[in-house]
A = this chain, B = another copy of it.
């Protein structure tokens, strides 16, 4: 029983565990699959499809078709995503940000990025408010390091920018009953009253562009699918307030490096954080769960299984940009022509090269972070 519960899929804005069944999530959450037809419509505007679309990392959406309809008729959209700053960023966090940057570049549109220091403080018993705010600053450096355009990127630090958010949050909050919030988020008697209010704050960036510019345009939210409940509630409220419903495009979670490739952000050894020095990266990847066989002989003879291999997932999500080379690696693995040690060595090199570069850009970000504040 314990084992069964351990493997049971749980996907909420605050907890992701178990083996994630993405097709079931589309059914359970009532979202739409990202069809080939939609991908082709995107390609019309972006040229070649982004790696994360080609490889199905973004797999589901709400109203992306509506946003494209509007776009093609001349109504732009804004991007909105965010981060709950409760610790350092790991590579899994960067995946949707990298895709968001791609959309910003291709559609030349604004990004509102919400740093939810207030939420993390409310939700994490031990986290102090100053700690959450500080992680917010640190995490913003990681975002900026990805190369987003300062003229089109507006980072909202909830606590410091609450004066911009509060009036819209009140308008939203007045239209969400406790009953709805409880059913959507699973609030309980022991939930604190700040947490209960907070979905109203998360809704605000969907609508803040109108407040700042007078332009009423839809927001498109690239994010992991666990955040979907927030948008369900926001979508119900949007039209009552005279705004477009926010659209979403949902991505898979980068699996952790642990057995079975399960997500376990809280298990430090199964995630690679941007602050991890090269030897730590090496150790984590070396201990990663792969699809390899027990012995070299067996693997040479029977081949490995890239589909369950967490190392292969890292190549797929970020570290092998070339589709042909990725296909080659898959084939070689299946045929036993490449051993886990080789993949791990190559991934370690790739990750460390990426992180060393990232940390340089991150240092430079300290000089320009003010350019990204929504109040500037």
A interface, CB within 8 angstroms of B? 118, 121-122, 129, 159-160, 162-163, 166-167, 169-171, 173-179, 181-182, 187-197, 199-200
Contact = CB atoms under 8 A, between A and B. Distances in A.
Given A166-B166, A194-B200, A197-B196, A122 B189 contact: no
B193 A176 contact: yes
Q: Chain A interface mostly helix, strand, loop or mixed? A: helix
B159 A162 contact: no
Contact of A162 (B121, B166, B177, B189): B166
Contacts of A192: 173-178
B189 A193 contact: no
Given A129-B170, A197-B197, 4 more contacts: A121-B170, A173-B193, A178-B189, A179-B190
Given A162-B162, A162-B163, A197-B196, A190 B170 contact: no
B200 A177 contact: no
12 contacts: A160-B163, A173-B193, A173-B195, A175-B192, A177-B190, A177-B191, A178-B189, A178-B193, A179-B189, A181-B193, A193-B199, A196-B196
Nearest to A182: B189
A193 B159 CA distance: 19
Contacts of A170: 118, 121-122, 129, 159, 194
Nearest to A175: B192
Contact of A122 (B118, B159, B174, B187): B174
A178 B167 contact: no
A347 B355 CA distance: 80
A166 B173 contact: no
Q: Residue among A160, A181, A196 with the most chain B CB within 10 A?
A: A196
Contacts of A187: 178
